[in-house]
Amino acid sequence: MAVCNSKYPVGSPQEHIQMCENHGLPIDLVCEDCHIFICSTCAKTDHSGHNWVTQGVAASQRRKGLLKFLRDIKEVQLPKVDERIIKKKAENERTCESQMKNVEKHFNEIIAKLTDIRDRKEEVLKSNLRKKNEHLAIEKSRMDKEKKQLIEMVKYTWRRTVEPYLIRTS
Domain shared by 101 and 132, yes or no: yes
- State the pLDDT at residue 9: 47
Domain shared by 65 and 121, yes or no: yes
The pTM score is 0.46
Furthest CA-CA distance within the chain = 166
Domain shared by 91 and 124, yes or no: yes
Say yes or no to pLDDT of 12 above 90. Answer: no
Distance CA 82, CA 122 (A): 58
Distance CA 161, CA 152 (A): 14
- State the pLDDT at residue 167: 74
Q: What is the pLDDT of residues 117-128, one digit of tens each?
A: 999 999 999 999
Domain shared by 67 and 103, yes or no: yes
Domain shared by 27 and 87, yes or no: no
The boundaries of the domain holding residue 137 are: 56-141
The residues pairing with 38 across neighbouring beta strands, listed in sequence order, are 29
- Report if residue 24 sits inside a domain: yes
Domain shared by 32 and 106, yes or no: no
Domain shared by 95 and 126, yes or no: yes
Distance CA 6, CA 14 (A): 12
- Report if residue 25 sits inside a domain: yes
Which contiguous run of DSSP H or E holds residue 152? helix 78-157
Q: Position 167: which residue type?
A: I
Answer with the one of 10, 27, 50 that is the final residue of a domain: 50
Mean pLDDT check: name the lowest of 104-118, 130-144, 150-164. Answer: 150-164
Look at the chain and report how many structural domains it folds into.
Answer: 2
- State the pLDDT at residue 166: 79
Domain shared by 38 and 10, yes or no: yes
Write down the mean pLDDT value for the chain. Answer: 89
